Amino acid sequence: MGKFIRSKKLMGIVLMLISFLLIAGCSENGEAKEVETEKITDSVEKDKSAIQAVIEKQFNGPDEEYRELWNTAMDSQTGDMDEEQYNAWLNSPEYKALMDYMSDTYAPYFTDNAYETFSKTDAFLYSFSDQEYKLKTANIEINQNEVEKTLYTFTFQVMYENDIDETETFDFKGEAIVPTAGEIGKYQVDDQERLLEKIR
């Protein structure tokens, strides 16, 4: 009889311990899911923030500091440079200042490869013209693709104003792939030709 009571008590203690472990496990699992959800939300916010920053930096302008640095770097270059002189120019303070400014402006928002491509094609595209004009972005909307979570589509408007206060609004759409939180791997804006023609 005593053995039966002891084994019954032991069974009760074992069941209680199992219950505690199950409750603790469920609680930790719930917390882990909550942390994972927060990470995903944080990642999406970083991605959208990077895309928005690039749109605003590219389409608000022109960037007067970039223009000054570009002109200074180009003025320090001569038309008949040989290879040695050209390499020396690439190491000049004027050229380095230009490259540093470009990097500081855009590199934090891209993967290394994507920045290299962007810096040679689209960066400061709307600051090259010597015409007098202003560009301002508005109504930027960025959406994550429901299936391809690293793909984002976006739309926005650019208000163009020339030197005699004539204004025109341009609508844009594009997409970006963001493989790492807050670092764009591919960035594309469609149909830019009309605005480029306007500022030329």
Listed range (13-17, 64-68, 95-99, 119-123) with the worst mean pLDDT: 13-17
Which residue type occupies 71?
Answer: N
pLDDT: is 16 or 126 the higher one? 126
pLDDT at residue 50 above 80?
yes
CA distance 200 to 194: 10
The residues facing 169 across adjacent strands are 159
Query: 8-44 pLDDT, tens per residue?
Result: 554 555 445 455 444 555 555 555 445 455 556 788 9
The predicted pLDDT at position 122 comes to: 93
Which DSSP state fits 122? T
Nearest to 57 by CA among 157, 114, 124: 124
Query: 129-177 pLDDT, tens per residue?
Result: 888 999 999 999 999 999 999 999 999 999 999 989 999 999 999 999 9
Between the alpha carbon of residue 132 and those of residues 154, 161, 198, the distances in Å are 28, 9, 11
Nearest to 144 by CA among 14, 45, 2: 45
Please give the share of the chain, as a percent, with pLDDT higher than 90.
68
